[in-house]
């Protein structure tokens, strides 16, 4: 097991380097740079000398390989530098938004898991009954409905209900406060985007749970457990459900990693200043340093999540052994 963990940890390094190469050179293929964009926004005439001075100050006039080496060295030494657009430290800019995106991702994952596993299990156990059809319709609707549209419907519904009940329409809180500062304000701001995102997320996990559990229920050891006279609840919970969780855990883990940087539209709907919004702003502003840091952060989250998923396999299925 220790050799397997060491091997997976070492494999993270070439993965991160490969991602760094892609994001660094692809960003340089976009026409223009941050200096041209910055001066263009002033509406004033700017000569080439001023643009060259700006590029020299930001270090983007240096040879491309030197810039890449500095970028990778800074990433592996946790020195991401300053934003080319705002001039603020990148770690500070990301840190302000990371906790928000992380909390939304965790809450959405909890919502999805609480919905998906029970409904998927019921759908598999009650195959081809009205319960099965209802769950399948619920999950198909979740896949078909965009989370941002569901978010808009939630906001409109809350506006109408609160207007009728209290006379004061509900509005999404504008200022984000961490949960340890003001739990009520924090939950009231993030619960609805978590529900809107978690519903779609749960739809995929529900279908995967149903499919995986149906496959396991046809295995010989399940028939043997039933033939021995075990209670159906024990057969499902102890033998079938646990062994069917491998693909479900994979889906849940990958979706969680995706949520850390993929909530751009949902953040706009609910007025959240998270990583997704920062991602769009950095690309729009040609902020190479910020965009590279965000991409590498998301890649690192994916790599760590996949690593934890692999470790969870041995616990979920004793037949899996790492050597």
Q: Is the pLDDT of residue 109 over 70?
A: yes
Average pLDDT, the chain: 81
> CA–CA separation, 24 vs 22, rounded Å?
6
pLDDT at 286: 82
Q: Which of 39-48, 265-274, 285-294 has the lowest mean pLDDT?
A: 39-48
Q: Which pLDDT band holds residue 252 (cuts at 50, 70, 90)? A: confident
Q: Is the pLDDT of residue 251 over 60?
A: yes
Q: Is the pLDDT of residue 323 over 60?
A: no
pLDDT at 85: 77
The pTM (predicted TM-score) of the whole model is 0.81
> CA–CA separation, 224 vs 212, rounded Å?
19
> CA–CA separation, 250 vs 209, rounded Å?
11
Q: Which residues have a Cβ under 8 Å from the Cβ of 214 and sit 6 or more positions away?
A: 124, 127
Q: What percent of the chain has pLDDT over 70?
A: 90
Give CA torsion, residues 23, 24, 25, 28, to 10 deg: 110
Pair 86, 93: CB distance under 8 Å: yes
Pair 204, 255: CB distance under 8 Å: yes
What does 187-252 look like in DSSP terms, one character per residue? HHHHHHHHHHHHHHHHHHHHHHHHHHHHHHHTSHHHHHHHHTT--HHHIIIIIIIHHTHHHHHHHH
HSE, CB side, 13 Å, CA atoms: give it for residue 169.
8
How many DSSP H helices and E strands does the chain contain?
Answer: 15, 0
For range 135-152, the mean pLDDT: 85
Q: Is the pLDDT of residue 321 over 70?
A: no
> CA–CA separation, 209 vs 195, rounded Å?
20
DSSP category for residue 88: S
Q: Which residue has the tokens 């890649």?
A: 299
pLDDT at 145: 83
Q: Which residue has the higher pLDDT, 168 or 138?
A: 138
- Encode pLDDT of 9-37 as tens digits: 788 888 888 888 888 888 888 777 777 77
Q: Which pLDDT band holds residue 51 (cuts at 50, 70, 90)? A: confident
What does 144-164 look like in DSSP terms, one character per residue? HS-HHHHHHHHHHHHHHHHHH
For range 237-254, the mean pLDDT: 81
Q: Which pLDDT band holds residue 46 (cuts at 50, 70, 90)? A: low
pLDDT at 42: 57
Cβ count near 28 (within 10 Å): 13
> CA–CA separation, 161 vs 92, rounded Å?
39
pLDDT at 14: 87
Pair 264, 147: CB distance under 8 Å: no
For range 156-162, the mean pLDDT: 74
> CA–CA separation, 288 vs 293, rounded Å?
9
Burial bucket for residue 197 (CB in 10 Å: 0-12, 13-18, 19+) = buried
Strand partners, 89: 82
Q: Is the pLDDT of residue 163 over 70?
A: no
Domain ranges of the chain: 91-251
Q: Is the pLDDT of residue 174 over 70?
A: no
């Amino acid at each position: 097991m220790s050799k397997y963990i060491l091997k997976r940890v070492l494999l993270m390094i070439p993965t991160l380097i490969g991602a760094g190469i892609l994001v660094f050179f692809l960003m340089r293929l976009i026409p223009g740079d941050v200096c041209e964009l910055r001066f263009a926004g002033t509406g004033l005439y700017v000569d080439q000398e001023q643009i060259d001075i700006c590029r020299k100050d930001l270090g983007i006039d240096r040879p491309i390989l030197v810039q890449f080496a500095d970028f990778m060295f800074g990433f592996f030494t946790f020195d991401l530098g300053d934003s080319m657009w705002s001039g603020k430290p990148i770690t500070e800019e990301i840190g302000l938004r990371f906790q928000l995106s992380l909390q939304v991702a965790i809450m959405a994952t909890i919502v999805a898991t609480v919905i998906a596993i029970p409904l998927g299990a019921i759908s598999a156990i009650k195959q081809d009954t009205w319960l099965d059809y209802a769950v399948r319709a619920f999950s198909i609707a979740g896949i078909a409905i965009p989370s941002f549209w569901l978010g808009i419907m939630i906001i409109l519904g809350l506006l109408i209900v609160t207007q009728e009940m209290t006379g004061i329409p509900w509005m999404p809180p504008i200022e984000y406060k961490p949960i340890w500062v003001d739990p009520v304000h924090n939950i009231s701001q993030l619960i609805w985007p978590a529900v809107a995102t978690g519903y779609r997320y749960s739809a995929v996990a529900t279908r995967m749970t149903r499919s995986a559990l149906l496959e396991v229920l046809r295995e010989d050891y399940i028939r043997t457990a039933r033939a021995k006279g075990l209670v159906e609840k024990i057969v499902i919970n102890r033998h079938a459900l646990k062994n069917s969780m491998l693909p479900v855990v994979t889906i849940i883990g990958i979706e969680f990693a995706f949520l850390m940087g993929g909530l751009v539209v949902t953040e706009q709907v609910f007025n959240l200043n998270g990583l997704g919004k920062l991602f769009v702003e950095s690309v729009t502003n040609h902020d190479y340093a910020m965009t590279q840091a965000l991409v590498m952060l998301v890649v690192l989250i994916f790599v760590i999540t996949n690593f934890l998923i692999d470790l969870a396999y041995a616990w979920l299925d004793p037949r899996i052994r790492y050597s």
